[in-house]
Structure 1
Amino acid sequence: MAIAMIREDLLERRMPTQGNYDDLWEELTLAQKFAASSLTQFGYKLNFIRDFHDTHIAVLSCNENIAVISKGGEINTHPNIEIRL
């Protein structure tokens, strides 16, 4: 059981996709797509999707600003997450 948790933690540490974001965009829920579309108008770009323990959160950034979008499409522009460089 502990090995499975370690494996999940390692899978969680994905690197942001370089180049084409079409694959990431297709993984968003419909609600996330609408919310992400509104944020892209302000310069935000989709960085990665965190899918861990029944959460499906899209993480976007614009300069130093981070925004997350929940599975239901709720936007949080002041999330309590840390982004590794």
Structure 2
Amino acid sequence: MELLKPPMVDRRGDNPETSVWWDKLTLAQKFSASSLGKSGYELVCIRNIEGEGVAILECNGGVATISAEGEINAGAQIKLRED
């Protein structure tokens, strides 16, 4: 007799690729966002900072940014609007 196991649940949250913002990222940003997504970060928006599209990701209250060149700043001091 075989025991049924409950389905595995991914507790890391959604992958950034499911975000409506995904198509607006540069290729370098997509690589970096995918990397952060494995740690639970979610892509929440893209902001124009000094003429450059900067991706904003959030995880457990922490915020990370990704420059157009794909550089990750996990200690970003950006205030997000709350819904």
TM-score by length of 2: 0.72
Structure 2: gaps of 5 or more residues: 1-17
Match of 1:37 in 2: 34
Match of 1:77 in 2: 74
Q: Among the aligned pairs, what percent are the same residue? A: 46
What displacement does 1:53 show? 4.0
Structural RMSD (CA): 1.3
Match of 1:66 in 2: 63
Match of 1:17 in 2: none
Structure 1: gaps of 5 or more residues: 1-19
Match of 1:6 in 2: none
> Bigger shift: 67-76 or 44-53?
44-53
Question: Which letter does structure 2 place at the counterpart of 1:63?
Answer: N
Deviating above 3 A after TM superposition, structure 1's stretches of 4 or more consecutive aligned residues are none
Match of 2:13 in 1: none
**Greater helix content:** 1
Structure showing greater Rg: 2
Distance 1:42 1:82 in 2: 21
TM-score by length of 1: 0.70
Match of 1:27 in 2: 24
